[in-house]
Amino acid sequence: MTDCWNSTVSGADGTYFSPGQAQAHTPASCAFGILLMHIRALVAAEAEIETAGFAVLGTELAQELRRAEQAREALIESCCDVIAADVWREEDRGLRHMAFFLLSLLEIESDAERQHLHFRSVLHRDVFGISGAGVAGRQAQKMQMEFFSRLDDLAQLQEFGGPGGALDDAADASEPVPA
């Protein structure tokens, strides 16, 4: 099993899993934990742009736009890492499917199409079902719940065709991912 505890994500505080938890992680679950950290960072960066009221020609806005673009690129890379990771157990397949879905969503340029795909995912989240059998299943289900919570946060952002506005502090990129 892979050691996830000492890895960090650039721009985030600490590790991406809660310390002191003894679950064994596969390469796919480790990569998915990183994906969750990057989706949090992207939501936080985009929400900051929408709510901070930066001057349009100011340097602060340019810096925040760069930060958001870097977060998006890191998220896309982490989706690819999950997709490429070895499948050691059945739960890894579900994590891989969610990463592929997110990558597809990020590649869509039309806000209306992104919103439509998100709406469909809300109606059919059972397609991504992960069985809750055993420690690995419960761990993967927690990661799945976190994923869909962050996906819903993304859909609320203006950048992704949503209404925009402030998100709650649940998008904090420094919180450990439940494992």
pLDDT of residue 55: 81
Residue 115 lies in a domain: yes
Nearest 5°: CA angle at 13, between 8 and 19?
70
- Residues 60, 54: contact at Cβ < 8 Å? yes
Q: For residue range 122-164, list pLDDT tens digits in order.
A: 888 888 878 777 888 888 889 999 999 999 999 999 888 888 8
Q: What is the pLDDT of residues 50-101, one digit of tens each?
A: 887 888 888 888 899 999 999 999 999 999 999 999 998 889 999 999 999 9
- Using a cut of 0.75, tell me whether the model's pTM lies above it: yes
Look up residue 144 and give its amino acid: Q
The mean pLDDT of 117-121, rounded to a whole number, is 91
Sign, CA dihedral 109-112-115-116, equals negative
How far apart are alpha carbons 120 and 4 in whole angstroms?
32
Q: Per-residue pLDDT for 12 more than 90? A: no
Instruction: List, in sequence order, every residue forming a beta bridge with 17; answer none if it has no partner.
Output: 177
- Which CATH number do you get for residue 116? 1.20.120
- pLDDT average, residue stretch 11-19: 44
**How many distinct structural domains can be found in the chain?**
1
- Residue 1 is predicted with a pLDDT of 42
Does residue 46 lie in a domain region? yes
Which domain covers residue 153, as residue numbers? 27-162
Residue 50 counted as domain residue: yes
> What pLDDT shows up at residue 77?
97
Q: Which candidate, 98, 97, 95, 99, places its Cα nearest to that of 75?
A: 99
